[in-house]
Amino acid sequence: MSLDPAPRTPVTEPLARPSAVLTVSGPDRPGVTARLFTALAALGNGVPAVEVLDVEQVVVHGQLVLGVVVAAGPHSGEAPELVARLAELAARVAEDTGMQVAVEAAGPDGAAAGADRPHHVILLGRPVLPDAVAGAARAIAGTGANIDAIRRLSDYPVTSFELTVSGAEATELRTVLAAVAAETGTDIAVERVGLARRSKRLIVLDVDSTLVRGEVIDELAARAGRAAEVARITAAAMNGELDFAESLRARVGALAGLPVEVLDEVREALVLTPGARTLIRTLQRLGFRCGIVSGGFTQITDPLAESLGLDFAAANTLEVADGRLTGGLVGEIVDRAGKARALARFAGQYGIPLEQTVAVGDGANDLDMLNAAGLGIAFNAKPVVREQAHTALNQPYLDAVLQVLGFTRDEVLDAL
């Protein structure tokens, strides 16, 4: 017996039909959209004359732009006849509303309307200058792609715009736009359009120079009188010039003899990166699991995670004996590979696929984690990290991550 006895109409390719684009523009006012579609509905005198294929509307500082793509019904004649009829309709709507209404022919069934929109391009800056928008637009056009839509995501703490782009491959887009970003100082991120962008459910943040300003180990070294030596090792490790585990042992060794109370002093002096609390609070209210994975020390990161209400934390543990640091470590070292393992462990703990995770970091030891995540963001990172991460942010505000994820300023405010 059939489980679905209802007959189904075979799916066939639609016949090519004359199509047209109507564009309405002018000062926004109530009733414009209703007037246009009422006129379209009455065009066939009781018999549907057109079918709506696509609609886009945007209001920018009180100025409306409304685009409608329609295809001719079965009894509407050829393209010139459709455009002529719509031109008469447009004139009436323009007179009634005080708007400008333009009509032009489109490809068969609206093919020229650019329905394929595979990528979002996000421009972020403080400010975003015209040369950045012009450079991005030229670069996109140079790939043969088209900008289908532009919307503003935020005006604070950074200005950001999202361009919807069709007809380009992701790697090529990222390559040409990276050059624009370097020339203009504007951050430009590229993400594929689709549900995956809004399906992210877990974020992992590096701590030193990402969640907080500065490097904790440098602060500890200063109190041990070994600041210059440790700073040189830290810089080399973060630039990928030294093995992280080896460099960590060397730096920790320089801390031998420090009283354990120094850890409390350094922790209390930590300064969060601007926007850190907003990022975490917003994502938590949107249902994200939020945590930290650090090459630093649990004596610092665990209290920090507790104070921020984070879901998880992983870091190295300094060895302590008789109230002083021994210069050694206890347990597994959270190095470059260890960070990626920690991300996978926490994602598995919450039943979240890796493609639905986000990782943010600045150093070479973050690269495995950034590349393992569904989206890896290099935040004010070293050049080697910016070049290999999925996208890069060079703004001083950590909550700019929200715009890369596609959240608007209004959505952020609603979640706070």
Q: Is 208 assigned a catalytic role?
A: yes
307 close to 313: Cβ distance less than 8 angstroms:
no
SS3 state at 349:
helix
Is 368 noted as a catalytic residue in this protein?
no
Q: In what order do the strands lie in the sheet with 100-106?
A: 50-60, 63-72, 19-27, 100-106
Q: Looking at residues 173-194, what average pLDDT do you find?
A: 91
Q: Tens digit of pLDDT for each residue in 315-350?
A: 999 999 999 999 999 999 999 999 999 999 999 999
- For the segment 196-225, the average pLDDT, to the nearest whole number, is 93
For 255-299, the pLDDT digits (tens) are: 999 999 999 999 999 999 999 999 999 999 999 999 999 999 999
pLDDT band at 11 (very low <50, low <70, confident <90, very high): very low
Judged against a pLDDT cut of 80, whether residue 80 lies above it is answered with no
Residue-by-residue DSSP string for 88-153: HHHHHHHHHHS-EEEEEEESGGGGGG-----EEEEEEESS--HHHHHHHHHHHHHTT-EEEEEEEE
Catalytic residue, chosen from 206, 362, 366, 368, is 206
Residue for token pair 């523009």? 25
Q: What is the pLDDT of residues 20-40, one digit of tens each?
A: 999 999 999 999 999 999 999
**Residue 90, token pair as written in the block:** 């447009």
Looking at 28, 109, 208, 362, which residue is catalytic?
208
Which pLDDT score, from 0 to 100, does residue 317 have? 97
pTM beyond 0.95: no
